[in-house]
Chains A and B, each alone.
Chain A
Amino acid sequence: MKVAKQPRYVNEEKCTACGVCAIYCPVSVPDPYDENLSHRKAIHISYTQAAPSSYAVDPNNCLFLNRQECKQCTRTCQAEAIDFDQRPEILSYDVGALILSPGFSSFNPSRSGSYNYPDSPNIVTGKEFERICCASGPYVGKILRPSDLKRPDKIAIIQCVGSRDKTSGNPYCSSVCCKYAVKDAIVALEHEPDLDITIFFMDMRMYGKGFDVFHERAKAGGVKFVRSRVSNIKENPETRNLALKYAAEDGSLREDTYNLVVLANGLEAPQGNSTLALATGTRLNRYGFCETSLFSPLDTSREGIFVAGAFQGPKAIPDSVIQAGGSAASAAELLTSARGTLVTEKEFPEERTDPDESPKIGVFVCHCGKNIGGVVDVHEVKKYAETLPDVVTVEDNLYSCSQDTQVLIRDTIIEHKLNRIVVAACTPRTHEPLFQDTNREAGLNKCLVEMVNIRDQCSWVHMHEKDAATRKAKDLIRMAVAKASLIEPLPEPIVKVSPKGMIIGGGLSGMTAALSLARQGFECYLIERSLELGGNLRHTYFTLEGPDPQEYLDQFIREVRNHDNIHLFSDASIEKIEGFVGNFKTVLSFGDAENRKRVEIEHGIIIIATGAKPFEPDEYLYGSHEKVLIQQTLEKKLALQEIDAGTLNHIVMIQCVGSRDETHRYCSSICCGQAIKNALKIKELNPETEVTILYRDVMTYGFNEDFYDLARDKGVMFIRYEPDQRPRVEDLDGKLRLTVRSPLMKEDLVLDPDLLVLSTAMVPHENRTLVEQLAVPLSSDQFFLESHAQLKPVDSYVDGIYLCGMAQFPKPIDERIAQAKAAASKAAILLAKGYVKTEPIVSSCNTDKCIGCGLCEYFCPYSAIRITKMGKLKKAEVISAACKGCGVCASYCPTRAIDMGRFTDDQITAQIRAFGEKH
């Protein structure tokens, strides 16, 4: 693989991201990160969290690169990181797999002519509004409109700009805009509670876990939702307000004026997509996104090349993170034989141990070029630090983080026989690991360093108060030295990981996860409660996208059953699970009732893939009238030809049965697609059969929008109903009669279908026993709770336990496969490493003081502390490998038996006392 690398004209190794170059750079240009609503310099860092954390020169705007003059950056950079001699490079890599993740481009609303986006600064895109709402954005979080920087009291948000719109070239749904519009509306109201916000939409697609609740919250918070497509926006040249013309749902034409209009513009295939496709030899789909298929959502058309994120199709953050994990698993399956071959472990000298030694502290104060030194009087601070107790030596460094300073610190530790160091520089969040390594190189335990943040939280934020900043730096160093006197070397216990996995649930997700682990070379136990593998996929007979699910399932089950690394237990139940990350023990029973066997298995990780099932309602005559079915039954009857579509005149389907209401507050994501799938099947079998779908919002997100279009083309009727005016069903001597209020026509429609089909919610299985065995939490909708909705969508709250598939939330086949692979990917990290290294910041229990009250066990959010019997007494035991170091246990402990490594009661108390000392 060859990669062209453009020069950044800054040496990433030397750049400390201090930002002085940008202060002196004379060229100011619009900042694309702020959607051009603010300015940045020609030398810049893209955004705070950019990786690498290094500045770069914008070659289009730099004076030196364009006119051979200036070079202010070179003169002001004390780290000597500016390098105008850099040239474009071609880098060559030998790789075994490739993952494409170039993201998406935003639809440019200039292409929607009637919205006049280029003509008014007060018509902004979704991303522009996002920046406007952001505390780190151009208006520091004040909601202002660009033309006059005044508060826009009345804001309109328009959905589907460049989405679901054939004229724009994008007939598909961008999947994320409804969600971000609702989020932006809620955020804007948090800033300014009395804003008047209206969202104009076609369907509010708040599918997926937890999103519909936000829709309801926005409504309750006063956001108005108008179901209409705005036809025209016009600016009043004097007030710069914007007049919107739109047709209300009843057909009447309306006009309304707003101070600011937000166009919720959609997602497109990324720029450069065809170049990338050409370079990688992969195919694009009809909309320019990467071509994949339903059962291989992460595989491009070329073997060994995988895809993740919005390039595969428009998607939100959790789905992108899931695909990233999943494609990593796919790559790891290919690279199993090469695993670890490029790793070299860093070696350190043996640690000095002398427990009786009195504290000898070295303090290192950083100038950070001018970043600290320009505000804080470093020499005064240095003199002050020399007076503090236990301090043996104080040094000041131009850059404490530079390579040569590391050598100096190491030598100083050795020379003065220091046993603790204090580094007063930037933030421990980024730099503590560096100084910990320096300590280790000098033979000191890594915990014997304390950092003082005199840059990010001192010189940078008190730039005009030099004396006060200097006083603050002294106080902070005094507090750190007081703590440093009490810090102790701490071990990093290593816990071995049993290199096997256990997957609970043998449906599509469980099998996918098991097979991925098996292909990556790990043995796993696949536990299925029923006799058969396959779960919900067993009852799926056809798909919208085309591939035959039963054919796939047969082949898949064969592969799972035949893989040497997979040990299958069907008809199994879990009797007991104990242990913790890396070391679980599970007791299973399996086999038929007369010949039930018990077995104990040991495994390092657990993947929960217990799935979900269709909700069985007790409304709409379900269960009492034979012509009322749920979608899954209809699908089966159609597939097995138990229903003859030729004899049916009219089928009515009702969406959102037991969904998005008081029964289940969420949208199950898959029911609209399923209804359309069955409707199209009926139309295929008999085009004369009338099909009517009664819906609230049609949730055919992404490319599935095409099938919604197709269904309408084939004559499927879609009639909306309001949640407070649900359809009514009567049994008239065996015949069904349906009455539904149409909001469009404002009258009751009467339908006499041969068959009534209910699209019911997907609901979790009864998981109470499993939840108790695993000690993992559920979310309010009773699905398993992930530890971070956006960024950790497959991790549970307990280390070593992962989630996937419909156990986490209902989702379509391709998303289930991706998530199962992502769970396998996360699990494989632990299994491949073979051990868990415990951070020293964990709690420890003094069993002499512990009274076994169990408060700590009750409050620990990570199930990392438990009460066990020691002899006759109950005592708390910390599972270090699972502890995250939050310290909740320590602060609740009534006898102070629990303490936290690196954050002990004594250390914090010493800091507080030092805070009170006058200098």
Chain B
Amino acid sequence: MTNDKSEPAILGFFCHWCCYAAADAAGVARFQYPPNVRVIRVMCTGRIDPIFLMDGFVNGADGIFVGG
């Protein structure tokens, strides 16, 4: 876990068809948001094994954002 909670490390799992596309659209519109999320693209949130989430926390994620 990181110590500085004002800069949390967020791990994102984004569905290719919806949330990942929306995140691209946010870029096209130049919406500014905090740079703390690191995204892993999956083809569907159905792919996300709960173990991935546990693994994320073990590897230092302060929060996990599943977007689908």
List residues of chain A with CB under 8 Å of any chain B CB.
Answer: 19, 48, 136, 427-429, 453, 455-458, 460-465, 468-469, 471-472, 475-476, 479, 841, 859, 884-888, 890-891, 900, 903, 905, 908-909, 911-913, 915-916
Bound CA–CA A429/B47 (angstroms): 18
* A-facing residues in B17-60 (Cβ within 8 Å): 20-21, 23-33, 35, 38-44, 46-50, 52, 55-56, 58-60
Bound CA–CA A133/B55 (angstroms): 39
Bound CA–CA A48/B26 (angstroms): 10
A916 cross-chain contacts in B, Cβ below 8 A: 58-61
Query: A912-B59, A916-B59 in contact; A457/B27 too (CB < 8 A)?
Result: yes
Question: Are A912 and B11 in touch, CB under 8 angstroms?
Answer: yes
Question: Are B43 and A900 in touch, CB under 8 angstroms?
Answer: yes
Question: Are B55 and A465 in touch, CB under 8 angstroms?
Answer: no
B27 cross-chain contacts in A, Cβ below 8 A: 427, 455-457, 460-461
Which of A453, A463, A886 has most B Cβ within 10 Å?
A: A886
Query: A48-B25, A886-B44, A916-B59 in contact; A453/B49 too (CB < 8 A)?
Result: no
Question: Are B60 and A456 in touch, CB under 8 angstroms?
Answer: no
Question: Are A479 and B38 in touch, CB under 8 angstroms?
Answer: yes
Please give the distance in Å from A473's CB to the nearest CB on chain B.
Answer: 10
Question: Are B35 and A457 in touch, CB under 8 angstroms?
Answer: no
A886 cross-chain contacts in B, Cβ below 8 A: 43-44, 46-47
Please give the distance in Å from B5's CB to the nearest CB on chain A.
Answer: 16
Question: Are B21 and A429 in touch, CB under 8 angstroms?
Answer: yes
Chain B residue at minimum C-beta to C-beta distance from A469: B35
Which of A19, A136, A912 has most B Cβ within 10 Å?
A: A912
Question: Are A908 and B42 in touch, CB under 8 angstroms?
Answer: yes
Question: Are A912 and B24 in touch, CB under 8 angstroms?
Answer: no
Question: Are A136 and B25 in touch, CB under 8 angstroms?
Answer: yes
B50 cross-chain contacts in A, Cβ below 8 A: 891
A915 cross-chain contacts in B, Cβ below 8 A: 9, 11, 38, 40, 56, 59-61
Bound CA–CA A887/B33 (angstroms): 29
Question: Are A462 and B35 in touch, CB under 8 angstroms?
Answer: yes
Q: List 20 A-B contacts (CB under 8 A).
A: A19-B28, A48-B28, A429-B20, A453-B24, A457-B23, A457-B27, A461-B32, A462-B33, A462-B35, A472-B38, A475-B38, A841-B43, A890-B49, A891-B49, A903-B47, A908-B47, A909-B52, A915-B38, A916-B58, A916-B60
Bound CA–CA A456/B29 (angstroms): 9
Among B25, B32, B40, B58, the residue within 8 A (CB) of A911 is: B40
Question: Are A888 and B56 in touch, CB under 8 angstroms?
Answer: no
Query: A887-B46, A891-B47, A915-B59 in contact; A472/B52 too (CB < 8 A)?
Result: no
Count of residues in B whose CB is under 8 Å from the partner chain? 36
Among B21, B29, B55, the residue within 8 A (CB) of A912 is: B55
Among B24, B56, B58, the residue within 8 A (CB) of A457 is: B24
Query: A429-B21, A908-B42 in contact; A890/B33 too (CB < 8 A)?
Result: no
Q: Given known contacts A427-B24, A461-B35, A891-B47, what 12 new A-B pairs fall within 8 Å (CB)?
A: A19-B28, A136-B25, A427-B27, A461-B31, A479-B40, A886-B47, A891-B49, A908-B47, A912-B55, A913-B59, A915-B9, A915-B11
Bound CA–CA A885/B33 (angstroms): 30
Among B25, B26, B38, B49, the residue within 8 A (CB) of A476 is: B38
Bound CA–CA A624/B52 (angstroms): 65
Query: A461-B31, A472-B35 in contact; A891/B16 too (CB < 8 A)?
Result: no
Among B16, B33, B39, the residue within 8 A (CB) of A429 is: B16
A457 cross-chain contacts in B, Cβ below 8 A: 23-24, 26-27, 39
Bound CA–CA A905/B20 (angstroms): 20
Please give the distance in Å from A883's CB to the nearest CB on chain B.
Answer: 10
Among A456, A479, A859, A891, the residue within 8 A (CB) of B23 is: A456
B43 cross-chain contacts in A, Cβ below 8 A: 841, 884-887, 900, 903
B61 cross-chain contacts in A, Cβ below 8 A: 915-916
Question: Are A887 and B28 in touch, CB under 8 angstroms?
Answer: no
A472 cross-chain contacts in B, Cβ below 8 A: 35, 38
Question: Are A887 and B47 in touch, CB under 8 angstroms?
Answer: yes
A891 cross-chain contacts in B, Cβ below 8 A: 46-50
Please give the distance in Å from A17's CB to the nearest CB on chain B.
Answer: 9
Please give the distance in Å from B38's CB to the nearest CB on chain A.
Answer: 5
Bound CA–CA A30/B44 (angstroms): 38
Query: A891-B48, A915-B59 in contact; A463/B39 too (CB < 8 A)?
Result: no
Question: Are B28 and A456 in touch, CB under 8 angstroms?
Answer: yes
Please give the distance in Å from A168's CB to the nearest CB on chain B.
Answer: 36
Chain B residue at minimum C-beta to C-beta distance from A47: B28
Bound CA–CA A428/B43 (angstroms): 12
Bound CA–CA A884/B44 (angstroms): 10
Bound CA–CA A386/B42 (angstroms): 26
B26 cross-chain contacts in A, Cβ below 8 A: 456-457, 461
Please give the distance in Å from A204's CB to the nearest CB on chain B.
Answer: 31
Question: Are A462 and B47 in touch, CB under 8 angstroms?
Answer: no
Please give the distance in Å from B24's CB to the nearest CB on chain A.
Answer: 4
Chain A residue at minimum C-beta to C-beta distance from B30: A460
Question: Are A453 and B39 in touch, CB under 8 angstroms?
Answer: yes
Query: A461-B32, A912-B55, A916-B60 in contact; A890/B40 too (CB < 8 A)?
Result: no
Chain B residue at minimum C-beta to C-beta distance from A371: B27
Bound CA–CA A462/B37 (angstroms): 11
Question: Are B32 and A476 in touch, CB under 8 angstroms?
Answer: no
Question: Are A890 and B47 in touch, CB under 8 angstroms?
Answer: yes
Bound CA–CA A18/B4 (angstroms): 35
Among B23, B29, B46, the residue within 8 A (CB) of A888 is: B46
B32 cross-chain contacts in A, Cβ below 8 A: 461-464
Bound CA–CA A464/B55 (angstroms): 32
Please give the distance in Å from B20's CB to the nearest CB on chain A.
Answer: 7
Question: Are B56 and A912 in touch, CB under 8 angstroms?
Answer: yes
Bound CA–CA A343/B61 (angstroms): 50
Bound CA–CA A539/B49 (angstroms): 55
A841 cross-chain contacts in B, Cβ below 8 A: 43
Question: Are B44 and A888 in touch, CB under 8 angstroms?
Answer: yes
Bound CA–CA A903/B16 (angstroms): 12
Bound CA–CA A909/B29 (angstroms): 32
Bound CA–CA A888/B68 (angstroms): 13
Please give the distance in Å from A684's CB to the nearest CB on chain B.
Answer: 54
Bound CA–CA A841/B46 (angstroms): 14
Question: Are A461 and B33 in touch, CB under 8 angstroms?
Answer: yes
Please give the distance in Å from A384's CB to the nearest CB on chain B.
Answer: 15
Please give the distance in Å from B30's CB to the nearest CB on chain A.
Answer: 6
Please give the distance in Å from A478's CB to the nearest CB on chain B.
Answer: 9
Please give the distance in Å from A857's CB to the nearest CB on chain B.
Answer: 14
Please give the distance in Å from A572's CB to the nearest CB on chain B.
Answer: 38
Bound CA–CA A886/B60 (angstroms): 27
Chain B residue at minimum C-beta to C-beta distance from A462: B35
B20 cross-chain contacts in A, Cβ below 8 A: 427, 429
B29 cross-chain contacts in A, Cβ below 8 A: 48, 136
Question: Are A456 and B44 in touch, CB under 8 angstroms?
Answer: no
Chain A residue at minimum C-beta to C-beta distance from B48: A891
A456 cross-chain contacts in B, Cβ below 8 A: 23-24, 26-28
Bound CA–CA A58/B39 (angstroms): 37
Bound CA–CA A461/B27 (angstroms): 5
Query: A429-B20, A461-B30, A912-B56 in contact; A905/B42 too (CB < 8 A)?
Result: no
Bound CA–CA A476/B59 (angstroms): 15
Chain A residue at minimum C-beta to C-beta distance from B47: A887
B31 cross-chain contacts in A, Cβ below 8 A: 461
Bound CA–CA A462/B27 (angstroms): 9
A453 cross-chain contacts in B, Cβ below 8 A: 24, 39
A887 cross-chain contacts in B, Cβ below 8 A: 42-44, 46-47
Bound CA–CA A912/B46 (angstroms): 17
Bound CA–CA A451/B48 (angstroms): 20
A884 cross-chain contacts in B, Cβ below 8 A: 43-44
Bound CA–CA A475/B41 (angstroms): 14
Bound CA–CA A19/B26 (angstroms): 14
Which of A884, A905, A911 has most B Cβ within 10 Å?
A: A911
